[in-house]
Amino acid sequence: MTVLAQPAARTLTITRRRRSVRAAVVTAALAVAVAALFVVTMMVGSFRLSAWEVIASVLHLEDNPSVDFVVRGLRLPTAASGLTVGLALGASGTIFQQLLRNPLASPDFVGISSGAGLAAVGGIVLLNLGGLAISGLALGGAVLAATLMYVLAWRDGVSGYRFILIGIGVAVFFDGLIGYVITRAQLSQARQAMHWLTGSVGQASDTELKALTAALIVLLPVAVLLQRPLRALELGDDTARALGIRTELSRAGLLATGVVLVALAVSVAGPIVFVALIAGPIANRLLGPATGGIIPPAPAGAVLLLPAALAAVHLMPTPLPTGVVTGAVGAPYLLWLLATTNRQGAGG
Amino acid sequence: MTRLRAEGLTLGYDDKNIVSNLDVTVLDGKVTAIVGANACGKSTLLRGLARLLAPRGGAVYLDGKSLTDLSTLDVAKVLGLLPQTPIAPDGITVADLVARGRYPHQGWFRRWTERDHTAVASALEATGTADLVDRPIRELSGGQRQRVWVAMALAQDTDLLLLDEPTTYLDINHQVELLRLLRKLNTEAGKTIVIVMHDLNLACRFCDHVIAMCDGSIVAEGAPTEVVTAELVEKVFGLACMVVPDPVAGTPMIVPA
């Protein structure tokens, strides 16, 4: 190696320092925003509370039975569901997008949510189930759909493009079946199924919420470790292998993490659209391009979902499912994304 | 003593063998060019040597051990590869890309060290890309971009470096510039370099050793002045030509007849 020249070393130090400062500031700001939105979500409603009342009640600092009833009994489960589902969708979406090297490769589009939807709607309509059983079915459906796609896409390894195309095919197939199953349903079942399919943070039960929280506590640190191989995989399989990555093993680990996160999120709140699609790009815009993290998009997902959930409940005289609001915000973004990626020739 | 060699190597995709039963020795401390017509198996051979393709027969040996018995990470510390069409994530900057070359030297928890920093800075300096550190890759010219990829491979700090057609998409000036850089890395840092390339004249000019391939087998091998003849070019590329000494360096130069 040639003798180290000073200017290169110095510019490099400055660049790297600037980047790590920006990353720290953005991640901290996102975390603060999530915490603030989490509290605000519990302040608003027919019975208005101050920020202090909410914090004191959640942290058991004061005892005030009427406030505790509203906060811990009514609002905390919904807020916690918005928080955890947002974190899970944000992390999962960015894993898929970076791994498959395509901003459109969100779990919403590649069949995983559809698999969950088919299983859940089948449970509601054909088996007359409700509550926790539906969540279990949705979880199983998402995992099965992901496994099916992985097997179908396997050909000496799994390439991004084939996985996306097969995922879209699987999604269309499942959506067709969902439509068919709904035509066989009674009116009340059909309404229940449609409500589930739109997705709402308010429908979470305590058990589901605990499962998702536990999964996040385990999987977010795992995701931190997996950021390393992900950064190498972004450069293409040949380069990644030349850098010493066991590409198939890393990819399987990343996909499994992403699938479990999205499957649990969908089983808790139904398929809330667009959050997984937008969280990663928003975090990247804040951090600077190609920073390749999994962690910053997670709070970005929560920052998107919490206000959407709040708006869904309070904007209209009757509460809407959360998915209606995220869909209304996300659809224009999707159109913009489709238009601009094609123009740059970077659509995959 | 040679660090990288293949014995009876057979490689292929799907149900087709591309190269069969090849014996290859990569000379230590030399620059080797693998040349041949399109689809003659030269890139496949390079991929086999770099552990990107598992042998169907025979084996590749690195420091006496079969590549299949070594861990991917151990290979990556000794053997670097620049693929034909590497992918840069959208918007990635030069500093970030070159730093990713340090991957095999970093553990799960041990992150950025002084050694990583020095290696990246030296790689930027050696490739003349130090003033581009803040620039996104996609804003660079083809020649600059290729030098940045070489910088990433250099940051990996391997003794052996394999490059798959690094000059293909460059104009003549940038081709020469890149080959001069590789030559310099060989003489100054003692790196063993293997380049798959198309331009025979440049291969003769800048490489110590030429391996000429045709239909998946090696038809000639040796110093350019010894092996590059009109008969060989006719046989490998099907081109009738004259071979004359390069007026500057005296190496063989191919002139179509």
The model's pLDDT over A187-230, given as tens digits with 9 standing for 90+, comes to: 988 988 888 888 888 777 788 888 889 989 999 999 888 988 99
B92, B103, B134: residue with CB nearest A289: B92
CA B112 to chain centre: 27
The mean per-residue pLDDT over the stretch B46-70 comes to: 93
A interface mutation test: which of B4, B13, B15, B72 has the most A CBs within 10 A?
A: B72
**A237: nearest Cα among B72, B119, B128:** B72
Q: At B240, list the tokens.
A: 């009738």
The mean per-residue pLDDT over the stretch B136-155 comes to: 91
Cross-chain residue pair B125–A11, CB shorter than 8 Å: no
CA B154 to chain centre: 12
B50, B92, B189: residue with CB nearest A290: B92
| End-to-end alpha carbon distance in chain A | 37
CA A261 to chain centre: 7
Between A337 and A148, name the one with better pLDDT: A148
Amino acid at A5: A
Cross-chain residue pair A232–B103, CB shorter than 8 Å: yes
Shortest CA gap B156–chain A (Å): 8
Residue of chain B whose alpha carbon sits nearest to that of A155: B14
Cross-chain residue pair B117–A12, CB shorter than 8 Å: yes
**Residue B44 in this model has a pLDDT that exceeds 70:** yes
Q: What is the DSSP string of A313-337?
A: HHSSSSPPPHHHHHHHHHHHHHHHH
The per-residue pLDDT for A285 is 84
Which are the contacts of A199, defined by CB distance < 8 A and separation ≥ 6?
A: A266, A269, A270, A271, A272, A273, A321, A322, A323, A326
Task: Give φ, ψ of B199 to 5 degrees.
Answer: -80, 105
Q: What are residue B212's DSSP bridge partners?
A: B35, B220
**Residue A48 in this model has a pLDDT that exceeds 60:** yes
Cross-chain residue pair A290–B119, CB shorter than 8 Å: no
**Residue A346 in this model has a pLDDT that exceeds 60:** no
Q: Are strands B79-82 and B160-164 parallel, antiparallel or unpaired?
A: parallel
**Residue A314 in this model has a pLDDT that exceeds 60:** yes
B79, B100, B136: residue with CB nearest A235: B100
| pLDDT tens digits, A244-279 | 999 889 988 998 999 999 988 988 888 888 899 989
Whether residue B117 lies within 8 A of chain A, CB to CB, comes out as: yes
Whether residue B160 lies within 8 A of chain A, CB to CB, comes out as: no
**Residue B63 in this model has a pLDDT that exceeds 90:** yes
| pLDDT tens digits, B155-205 | 999 999 999 999 888 889 889 999 999 999 999 989 999 999 999 999 999
A interface mutation test: which of B70, B100, B109 has the most A CBs within 10 A?
A: B100
| pLDDT tens digits, B80-118 | 999 988 888 888 899 999 999 999 998 776 677 888 999
Residue of chain B whose alpha carbon sits nearest to that of A10: B121
Most confident of A24-38, A120-134, A214-228: A24-38
% residues pLDDT > 90 (chain B): 74
Shortest CA gap A167–chain B (Å): 22
Cross-chain residue pair B83–A238, CB shorter than 8 Å: yes
The mean per-residue pLDDT over the stretch A28-43 comes to: 95
| pLDDT tens digits, B3-12 | 999 999 999 9
- Asked whether B109 and A265 are in contact (CB, 8 A), the reply is no
**B213: nearest Cα among B193, B201, B197:** B197
- ipTM here: 0.90
